[in-house]
């Protein structure tokens, strides 16, 4: 049945808009070939038998059908239409009942539009970087790049992508005020935007690339403590881990879905917290982010920004899921954060005990002060 379904789909893709045709879902490949031979249409017997015998050559069907002229196509489609009932698979199930089938209407323009939509939204519109980014290298070797804005799942294309795109202009969110996370959209070159965000994160002050021909691309960074650029082998591992994430954020488009696993790896707690500001800025600027993290610093910075209340929609646009393993299943639990940044329902083992104690102290102080004020007002 899978083979028949594949043939049906391949035939459907070859029909043009001028020859719309009903293709039966249960089409039998063998019966179709038999009819073509019987009616002496187009292909000779040897070539048809070859196609029928070898599954490995089935990919030639669309290539062959696309090569037909309009008259040949019309004859083939007419043959299928006239013999549609005979082409239907006569499969009988164990109970002796003929399988039901449905008739699909081939609408080429609609299918092409749908395929384009799926490709844009479920492929090009999703950017993913995994938890293990590429190790630092002096020179990043040449690799095949199909998308000049795709960093790679390990950030392996970072040097090449930066070199290719460094002078293009992009629109991106930038933090005007760190204290209250005031965000505005600006326009600048990709290289300038990258430097701006890496400076905010206190990672490096600049990043440069150089084309080393057949050897690949050189990537060097300059830090506050260095007088000249250095390759990533001579700076902290965290630098090589965070640069691909910042680059992918800046190269994304609005409505893109960005997925990052453990972006906090090898980063100082202060940088982890500021990385959360980058994610918030991207979210408020129209991107959707899915972040898998074990960092309490990222969560606490998110709570802090919610408590500030500067961006009213922030709490409505975020969701935190705490995942625990129970046997062979993963259980998802919603973590609710109030408008004041407090966690309403502490899941078991969500943070270590010290974090919970600090939270409880703050809540107890707040309740005690409120109680004392009420007591004074009653005197």
Q: What is the CATH number of the domain that holds 176?
A: 3.40.50.300
DSSP single-letter state for residue 51:
H
Predicted local confidence at residue 309, as pLDDT = 82
Domain endpoint, select from 309, 332, 358: 309
Is 354 found in the same domain as 296? no
In degrees, rounded to 5, the angle at the alpha carbon of residue 20 between the alpha carbons of residues 19 and 24 is 125
Predicted local confidence at residue 22, as pLDDT = 42
Backbone phi, then psi, for 44, in 5-degree steps?
A: -85, 165
Is 131 found in the same domain as 172? yes
Is 149 found in the same domain as 110? no
Nearest partner of 21 among 112, 88, 107, judged by Cα: 107
Is 237 found in the same domain as 176? yes
Is 372 found in the same domain as 254? no
Is 98 found in the same domain as 41? yes
Interaxial angle between packed helices 29-38 and 2-14, expressed in degrees from 0 to 180 and rounded to the nearest 10: 50
Spatial distance between the Cα atoms of 358 and 338, rounded to a whole number of angstroms: 17
Q: 376 lies in which domain range?
A: 318-379
Is 160 found in the same domain as 259? yes
Is 115 found in the same domain as 53? yes
Is 299 found in the same domain as 199? yes
Spatial distance between the Cα atoms of 261 and 12, rounded to a whole number of angstroms: 40
Interaxial angle between packed helices 29-38 and 45-53, expressed in degrees from 0 to 180 and rounded to the nearest 10: 170
**Number of domains into which the chain is organized:** 3
Spatial distance between the Cα atoms of 114 and 278, rounded to a whole number of angstroms: 33
Structure tokens at 41: 């249409």
Is 289 found in the same domain as 157? yes
Nearest partner of 350 among 331, 325, 322, 330, judged by Cα: 322
Reported pTM: 0.64
H-assigned helices in 88-189:
108-119, 158-165
- Which residues, 6 or more positions from 148, have their beta carbon under 8 angstroms from its beta carbon? 161, 164, 165
Spatial distance between the Cα atoms of 115 and 256, rounded to a whole number of angstroms: 18
Q: Is the separation of the CB atoms in 239 and 107 below 8 Å?
A: no
Spatial distance between the Cα atoms of 29 and 216, rounded to a whole number of angstroms: 49
Spatial distance between the Cα atoms of 2 and 58, rounded to a whole number of angstroms: 13
- Which residues, 6 or more positions from 376, have their beta carbon under 8 angstroms from its beta carbon? none
Is 264 found in the same domain as 151? yes
Domain endpoint, select from 119, 141, 174: 119
Interaxial angle between packed helices 158-165 and 237-251, expressed in degrees from 0 to 180 and rounded to the nearest 10: 50
Digits of tens for pLDDT over the chain (379 positions)?
Answer: 455 455 445 444 544 333 444 444 444 555 666 666 566 555 444 544 544 444 434 445 555 555 666 676 667 666 666 665 555 544 333 334 444 444 444 445 555 666 666 666 666 688 999 988 888 888 888 777 777 888 989 999 999 999 999 999 999 999 988 888 889 999 999 999 999 999 999 999 999 999 998 888 999 999 888 778 998 888 888 899 999 999 999 999 999 999 999 999 999 999 999 999 999 999 999 999 999 999 999 999 999 999 888 777 788 888 899 888 887 888 888 888 888 888 887 777 766 656 667 777 777 777 888 888 888 777 6
Predicted local confidence at residue 207, as pLDDT = 94
Domain endpoint, select from 119, 134, 162: 119
Is 74 found in the same domain as 40? yes
């Amino acid at each position: 049945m899978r083979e028949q379904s594949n043939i049906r789909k391949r035939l459907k893709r070859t029909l043009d808009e001028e020859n719309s045709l009903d293709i039966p879902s249960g089409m039998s490949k063998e019966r179709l070939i038999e009819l073509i031979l019987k009616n002496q249409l187009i292909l000779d017997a040897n070539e048809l038998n070859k196609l029928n015998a070898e599954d490995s050559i089935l990919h030639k069907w669309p290539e062959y059908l696309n090569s037909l002229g309009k008259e040949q196509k019309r004859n083939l489609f007419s043959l299928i239409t006239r013999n549609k009932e005979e082409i239907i698979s006569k499969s009988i199930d164990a109970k002796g009942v003929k399988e039901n089938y449905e008739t699909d209407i081939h609408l080429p323009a609609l299918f092409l539009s749908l395929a384009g939509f799926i490709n844009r939204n479920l492929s090009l519109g999703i950017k993913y970087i995994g938890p293990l980014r590429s190790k630092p290298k002096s020179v990043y070797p040449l690799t095949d790049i199909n998308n000049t804005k795709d960093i790679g799942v390990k950030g392996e294309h970072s040097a090449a992508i930066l070199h290719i795109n460094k002078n293009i202009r992009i629109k991106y969110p930038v933090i005007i005020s760190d204290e209250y996370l005031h965000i505005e959209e600006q326009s600048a070159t990709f290289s300038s935007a990258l430097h701006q965000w890496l400076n905010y994160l206190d990672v490096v002050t600049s990043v440069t690339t150089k084309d080393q021909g057949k050897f690949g691309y050189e990537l060097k960074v300059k830090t506050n403590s260095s007088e000249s650029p250095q390759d990533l082998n001579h700076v902290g591992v965290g630098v090589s881990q965070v640069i691909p994430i910042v680059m992918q954020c800046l190269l994304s488009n609005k409505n893109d879905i960005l997925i990052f696993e453990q972006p906090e790896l090898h980063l100082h707690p202060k940088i982890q917290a500021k990385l959360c500001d980058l994610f918030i800025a991207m979210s408020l600027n129209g991107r959707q982010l899915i972040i898998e993290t074990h960092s309490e610093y990222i969560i606490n910075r998110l709570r802090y920004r919610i408590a500030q209340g500067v961006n009213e929609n922030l709490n409505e646009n975020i969701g935190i899921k705490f995942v625990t393993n129970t046997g062979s299943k993963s259980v998802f639990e919603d973590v609710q954060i109030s408008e004041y940044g407090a966690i309403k329902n502490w899941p078991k083992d969500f943070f270590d005990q010290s974090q919970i104690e600090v939270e409880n102290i703050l809540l107890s102080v707040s309740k005690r002060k409120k109680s004392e004020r009420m007591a004074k007002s009653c005197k």
